[in-house]
Every structure is written in structure tokens, then in C-alpha cells.
A and B are shown apart, each in its own frame.
Chain A
Amino acid sequence: MSTGIPEDVASMGGAAALPRDNGELVFGAPWEARAMAMAVAVVERLGLPWDAFRSRLIAAIAASPARPYYESWAAALEELVVAQGLSTVAALDAAEPSERSPL
């Protein structure tokens, strides 16, 4: 198969492990799947090791353990995007869209 979740994404363990229900990825809302896809895409397009995201995800979860998993994911994604110079916090503030992105 040419597509799929990269092995290093699917196999994350510990606090970073993807929430699953009997193997099924569990998304509470479409934006969660969107955020996940973006992290996969950013890492892939920039040719980064998955750990560039994973380490930020682990740090984000550790910084706020009670926060829902995909909110930590979104925080880690933003950090990665900013660290890679793809955007700035100010630009993201300004880009705040009024409509939900399609899914």
C-alpha cells in the first residue's frame, strides 16, 4: 500500500501513543484528525525524523498532563511549525479563520 500512517507514528508508545478503541483511531472531532494529518504531512514534506514531532508531543503532554491528547498534539504542531520557520505565533493569531476547515 502506498499510503497509511507511517510506522513510527502508529507505533508511538507511552503517553504519546495514539488514542485507540480496539485498534480504531479515536477522534473526538474532525479537527483532531486534521491536526494529526498535518503533523504527518509537515514532517514528511520537510524530510524531518518523526521524532521532531514526537519529542514536542511528549513535552506538550508532560507540560499539561490533564489536557486532552489532541490539544497537546495541536500545541506540539504549532511549536513545530514555528520552530521550522513556517509561520509565527503572530501570523497564526492573524490567520484565525472564522470557518471550520472542511473534513
Chain B
Amino acid sequence: MSGHAHHPEPLAPVEARVAAIESVLVEQGLFDTEALDAIVETFEHNLGPMNGARVVARAWVNPDYRRRLLEDGTAAIAELGFGGPEGDHMVVVENTPSVHNLVVCTLCSCYPWPVLGLPPAWYKSPPYRSRAVREPRTLLAEMGTVVPDDVEIHVWDSSAEVRYLVLPERPPGTENLTEDELAPLVTRDAMIGVERW
């Protein structure tokens, strides 16, 4: 295997054609290669977890928004301009000092990508999918999140119809931060529920 890993494969005709188009357009000065690189990069990040982070940050600073978000996640998320086919039926579940929420898709890997971006590999893994239901506390501890014994863990099984987003608690010591300052603190893992602070 390793002896062949770096041997370029022959170009497929369509691949060569696309490369030809690129070289002509770059030569024409329509764009440069770096500009194309930048666009390609956004394909991986364009629907990143920052959308969800903005939802959470808004809920932390705005009690009315928080109420709307918990009542009708889809509509409240759409207020910020996020949504789409796979974020159609969003339910937002709220962490409290006594309840921790964890999202899983036991059947496959349903995931609210319009707000959370691309699902991490572990989210799709069979061990996560089965253990999140069977032994969530142990699983979370192994993932670095120890949920105190007096905190209940609620597990939410996503499906094609309903996708869940965890609203984490606002971290202590952030009372003076603005919405824009709070958003970067919100992690993807916290919104799935495998992180808690």
C-alpha cells in the first residue's frame, strides 16, 4: 500500500477538464487559485456550529428570546436566519443545575446541521449511539464530562422528524459579557450535551 500512496492517479477526463477551466480562468484573472481555495474551505465550515452558538448566546442575554426558543425552537432559530430542510423541526432542551441533556441519534446520525454544522465522527459511531442511552453517565465521564450524581441526565433521540439542540447553562462569571462576546464560548459539544460547565 504505502509504496503506492503518493503515486498520482491518471486524471479522469472530467477532472482534467475542470482543471483546464480553472487554469484558463486564473490566467484570465477572473480569480486566483487562493480565492478558489477559500471558497472550497467554506464548504466545510459554512454551516458550522457558530450558528448554534449565536442562538445560545442570544438566549443567554435575552429572556424573551429564551422563552420563544424553548417553546418553538424552529421558529426562534429561524428568527436568526438559520434553518433549512434538516433543521426543520428543532426542539431546544435546557440544561439546569439539576438536569443535563444529551442528544443522540440511535438509529443513524440525524443531526441539526443548520445550527451545528457537520456531525463529529464519534456522533455517528455505534458505541456512542448505544451507550448514550444505556449508560450516559459513564459515557460522558469517559468523554471528560462528569455529571454530578444529583443531576438527572435526559437523553434525546434525534430522528428525521425532530432534532434536538441543548441550551447549556450560561457559564459562571460571564454576567458582564455581551451576546457577541458570549457566542465564541459556546461549543459544539456543549450543544450536543457531551460537555457541561
Contact = CB atoms under 8 A, between A and B. Distances in A.
Say whether chain B's binding surface is mostly helix, strand, loop, or mixed: helix
By size class, the interface of chain B is: 35 or more
Interface string A18-50: 000011110101010111111011100110000
Contacts, number: 127
A34 B40 contact: yes
A53 to B, nearest CB: 13
Given A31-B19, A37-B36, A23 B118 contact: yes
B28 A34 contact: no
B16 interface: yes
B31 A45 contact: yes
A91 B114 CA distance: 41
A14 B54 CA distance: 30
A77 B18 contact: yes
B23 to A, nearest CB: 5
A34 B50 CA distance: 25
B15 to A, nearest CB: 4
5 contacts: A22-B113, A31-B19, A34-B40, A40-B39, A41-B25
Interface of B: 8, 11-12, 14-25, 28, 30-31, 33, 35-40, 42-43, 45-47, 50, 84, 86, 108-111, 113-114, 118-119
Interface of A: 1, 3-5, 10-11, 22-25, 27, 29, 31, 33-38, 40-42, 45-46, 70-71, 74, 77-78, 81, 86-87, 91-93, 95-103
